[in-house]
Chain A
Amino acid sequence: EPEVTQTPSHQVTQMGQEVILRCVPISNHLYFYWYRQILGQKVEFLVSFYNNEISEKSEIFDDQFSVERPDGSNFTLKIRSTKLEDSAMYFCATLAGNDYEQYFGPGTRLTVT
């Protein structure tokens, strides 16, 4: 069973539009991560979020991106004005168990046209 679910599973949007990707934890988690994977490439870190604050972000995570936990349960990634190069699979992850093992959600495939 996954520790997190993600919605939508696939989103198609036009360039310049805003998108919000959602991550829903199964149980109460404090740590969240967003990663992305451009088709055929490796998985890249975007941002980590702990106790309702950004704890670490990559150079990819520029001003077009934002994260929040609006209602204490869902965890969202917003892209303000999508570009063609934002097309990728976006994964949410969290920690589970007694160690620091990260578990990934099923992903949202974002296609920007």
Chain B
Amino acid sequence: DAGVTQSPTHLIKTRGQQVTLRCSPKSGHDTVSWYQQALGQGPQFIFQYYEEEERQRGNFPDRFSGHQFPNYSSELNVNALLLGDSALYLCASSTPGLDNTGELFFGEGSRLTVL
């Protein structure tokens, strides 16, 4: 049973460029969330997708956008990259339900470096 997979694992971009990160959720999961983890910090919630719609959003500018596909996979897009966007981007999947405890399954992350 494949867990959450993310690609690419590492990438380097320059300021002003755009980046797309990809995520496939754990089998059976239909909700995908994205988190940004800066060095020495805990993950910060970016947004959540369910049924191909953005359902919740954290305190991130509009430069951060996303998409969920019918197969539940998801993309995170960041435009006009800034040096401060350098971070580990984590994708997490889950499934809604009455017994959902908020337990998320995380991928290994995509390490973005902006020069």
Q: Do A and B come from one complex?
A: no
